[in-house]
């Protein structure tokens, strides 16, 4: 928690007054009616760390599989992308947040970084499910129309979500859950599912007993490139929120409760 607070402080210091003067950004209502937008996305919920920029349909991305190095990598990634795209934070229309589920510290780092930039530049935030980003990446690469996304949640559980996937979006079928591998379920579908995510690498034998799977990709991780693609979908603009409303999604309540017991409020 202290690490993510330091990230927030660094982001606020770097980007507050980035252009040397304050500017008034567009209102969320006017942004939602704009077809062409400029977005910056952050995804650090798993062992992978990534950031991406969406510029009117073009995606630039920095990605690295780097367990426990997210706090050191994410800011240089963002700076490199902004420099490459020629953008300043105040020229963005919104921030896209890979909001979880995932590792507690990783999700908190993403939230802190995105909130820091959003507050400093007066921008809205587009929260995007990490599982949805995972499903979109797998579906786009393989053309699979149905993806069962599973991340290893430790403690003998998985973060689970089933999606209908096109080249542009991933639509949740049912609800996202944190549960034991033997408790997963999938809606009835014509055809097989593609499994994606670290949960399949750990529990493929159990998960495959609950749905028909054509193949699975256990080394697939969510990426900011897919987070930003989902955030740019005009149909999702109504889900954009203010910076203070950009909150992490854990799915497992016990994680948050344990963290609260370690750092009780006074």
Q: Where are the domains of the chain?
A: 2-130+223-262, 131-217
- Per CATH, 2-130+223-262 and 131-217 having the same topology is answered yes
Q: What fold, for 131-217?
A: Nucleotidyltransferase; domain 5 (3.30.420)
The DSSP secondary-structure symbol of 141 reads H
- Decide if pLDDT at 22 tops 50: no
Say how many C-beta atoms besides its own lie within 10 A of residue 194's C-beta. 25
What is the full DSSP assignment across 169-200? -EEE-S--EEE-GGG------SSPEEEESHHH
* pLDDT(92) > 60: yes
Q: Name the superfamily (CATH) of residues 2-130+223-262.
A: ATPase, nucleotide binding domain (3.30.420.40)
The pLDDT mean for the chain works out to 86
CA proximity to 173, closest of 136, 146, 200, 140: 146
HEC states along 220-243?
CCCCHHHHHHHHHCHHHHHHCECH
> What number of residues does the chain have?
266
Q: What is the pLDDT of residue 189?
A: 85
pLDDT value, residue 173 = 97
In order of 104, 122, 208, 255, the CA distances from 258 in angstroms are 11, 33, 31, 5
What does residue 184 show for φ and ψ, rounded to 5 degrees? -70, 160
Predicted confidence at residue 139, as pLDDT, reads 97
| Residue of higher predicted confidence among 50 and 31 | 50
pTM for the full predicted model: 0.83
Q: Is the pLDDT of residue 246 over 90?
A: yes
């Amino acid at each position: 928690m202290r690490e993510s607070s330091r990230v927030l402080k660094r982001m606020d210091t770097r980007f507050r007054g980035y252009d040397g003067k304050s500017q008034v950004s567009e209102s969320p209502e006017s942004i939602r009616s704009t077809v062409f937008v400029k977005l910056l996305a952050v995804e650090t919920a798993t062992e992978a760390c990534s950031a991406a920029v969406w510029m009117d349909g073009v995606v630039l991305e920095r990605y690295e599989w780097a367990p426990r190095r997210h706090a050191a990598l994410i800011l240089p990634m963002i700076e490199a992308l902004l420099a490459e795209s020629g953008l300043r934070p105040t020229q963005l229309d919104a921030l896209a947040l890979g909001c979880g589920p995932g590792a507690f510290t990783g999700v908190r780092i993403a939230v802190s970084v995105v909130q820091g930039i959003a507050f400093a530049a007066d921008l809205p935030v587009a929260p995007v499910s990490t599982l949805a980003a995972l499903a979109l990446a797998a579906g786009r690469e393989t053309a699979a129309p149905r993806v069962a996304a599973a991340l290893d949640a430790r403690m003998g559980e998985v973060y689970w979500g089933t999606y209908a996937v096109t080249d542009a979006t991933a639509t949740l079928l049912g609800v996202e859950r944190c549960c034991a591998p033997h408790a997963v379920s999938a809606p009835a579908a014509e055809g097989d599912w593609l499994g994606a995510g670290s949960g399949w690498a750990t529990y493929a034998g159990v998960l495959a007993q609950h749905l028909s799977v054509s193949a699975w990709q256990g080394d697939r991780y969510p990426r900011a490139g897919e987070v930003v693609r989902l955030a740019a979908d005009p149909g999702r603009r109504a889900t954009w929120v203010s910076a203070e409303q950009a909150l992490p999604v854990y799915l497992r309540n016990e994680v948050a409760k344990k963290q609260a017991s370690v750092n009780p409020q006074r």
